[in-house]
Amino acid sequence: MEKETLLKFENVSFSYEDEKTDRSFAVKDISFSVYKGEFLAILGHNGSGKSTIAKLSNAIYLPTSGKVTVDGMDTSVPDNEIPIRKKVGVVFQNPDNQIVASIVEEDVAFGPENLAVPPKEIRMRVDDALKAVDMYDRRFSETHRLSGGQKQRVAIAGIIAMRPSCIVLDEPTAMLDPKGRADVMKTITALNKELGISIILITHFMEEAVAADRVMVVNNARIRAMGTPREVFSQREMLKECGLELPDAAKLCDVLKEKGFALRSDILTEEEFIDEIVKMSVKQRSEI
């Protein structure tokens, strides 16, 4: 089946400064596409341009040069701004900065209210969105009483209530504890797999990137690698140069291989690691 493009960056550069020297670019000549229903993870160390890419994806920023299109709509055309914001929602790192109302369901209603969605329709969308992030039971709770992970899920619900085709999440789990992180990741994966919403997840956690269909590595304002998690994580030298780690399971495998264990070299997840160890010990036993 032909993949349909949802978001497209074509030779996009962006500079925060008026004077455009080569070093002033936060994003430099990048081109990539995100397909409908795809889950793309973006990796890169601090200052590499990830948040700028997030903000370029729904017309919060406009390219200094090049073109960003959402479903064929150019982000730099003023009339496209509202339809683009409906299609692509952005969730940021700090949940406290994104909650605007004191009660959970009011907060989720805020986005669709701004889009002038009729009240009856808003009611329905808010309930659906809260169920999708597993926060429906807390709909009447005060937002300031929620944990970081719960707040982040409410922020995601606020975006879902706008019925987007794509959600961009800029390090949404960076400020959360392990339980909050796991809950937010579960929510993101379900939105992608069950509702078919395209996901762009910017993250520092390699384990989160492993869950994506494709991984993009940015370094010094440019795209350094793009491919499946297995393709990207097999490029050990490139990752090192970009200051990125390996997923824990892969790290552990590398250590064991150095010690002479004959393990597969493309292991990425804990499950794969355990399978491989089990296989190895079964083989050893049968050889005795």
Query: Least distance (Å) from Mg ion to the CB of residue 203?
Result: 10
Stretch that binds ligand ADP, among 4-12, 43-51, 253-261, 275-283 (CB under 6 A): 43-51
**Binding site partner of 196, from Mg ion, ligand ADP, none, Cβ cut-off 5-8 A by kind:** none
What DSSP designation does 256 have? H
Run of H or E residues at 74: strand 73-74
Asked if residue 50 binds ligand ADP (CB under 6 A), the reply is: yes
* Rounded distance between C-alpha atoms, residue 87 and residue 139, angstroms: 25
Q: Are 86 and 79 in contact (CB under 8 A)?
A: no
The correct pick among 41, 43, 49, 86 for binding ligand ADP (CB under 6 A) is 49
**Binding site partner of 148, from ligand ADP, Mg ion, none, Cβ cut-off 5-8 A by kind:** none
Identity of the residue, 169 or 253, whose beta carbon is nearer to Mg ion in the bound complex: 169
Residue recorded with tokens 């200051």: 243
* Rounded distance between C-alpha atoms, residue 143 and residue 103, angstroms: 5
170 φ, ψ to 5°?
-95, 95
Dig out the tokens for 162 from the structure: 């706008």
Strand order in the sheet with 166-170: 88-91, 166-170, 198-202, 39-43, 214-219, 222-227
The correct pick among 13, 48, 69, 150 for binding ligand ADP (CB under 6 A) is 48
Asked if residue 16 binds ligand ADP (CB under 6 A), the reply is: yes
Give alpha helix (H) positions in 104-198. Answer: 104-114, 119-132, 148-160, 178-195
Asked if residue 219 binds Mg ion (CB under 5 A), the reply is: no
Asked if residue 243 binds ligand ADP (CB under 6 A), the reply is: no
Per-residue contact flags (x/-) with Mg ion for residues 35 to 64, judged by CB under 5 A: ---------------xx-------------
The correct pick among 12, 26, 109, 135 for binding ligand ADP (CB under 6 A) is 26
C-alpha dist (Å) from residue 54 to 30, 105, 286: 13, 26, 53
Residues that bind Mg ion (CB under 5 A): 50-51
Residues that bind ligand ADP (CB under 6 A): 16, 26, 44, 46-52
